[in-house]
Amino acid sequence: MLSGVRVEVKFSTLWAGGDFVFQQIRDQSYEVAALLGIEPQSVRLWFVPKDILWEEGSGQHTGAAALDTKWLRFRATHPPSWLGQYGGTLAEARSALEEARRARGR
């Protein structure tokens, strides 16, 4: 729990091609996922509602039709536009977490 919200943490360092890859996304008991991306000179953080992350992720182990495990991969320098409302900088991520808390009536 973080600020009264159940959070699942997903972590990625910068991959060789310049991507963040958040793996093993599952439909488990959490409300938002904290996507923590570490670059050599900066840190990025997003708090994404589980339903949005599940919708936007793609199949990890069994192709696009995966039903149990997904991942999210994108260029660290160009996150997908839909991700912007959930953070990016640490301050923006904090605001997104507060919004998640308010949306859940906490």
pLDDT in tens, 23-41: 999 989 999 999 999 999 9
Per-domain boundaries in the chain: 7-103
Measured between alpha carbons, how far is residue 84 from residues 16, 34, 62, 67, 95 in Å?
23, 14, 28, 26, 12
Task: Say if residues 7 and 47 touch (Cβ distance below 8 Å).
Answer: yes
Task: Say if residues 70 and 58 touch (Cβ distance below 8 Å).
Answer: yes
In total, the chain counts a number of residues equal to 106
Predicted TM-score (pTM) of the model is: 0.89
pLDDT number for residue 4: 85
pLDDT number for residue 68: 82
pLDDT in tens, 63-106: 555 568 899 999 999 999 999 999 999 999 999 999 888 887 75
CA distance 36 to 49: 14
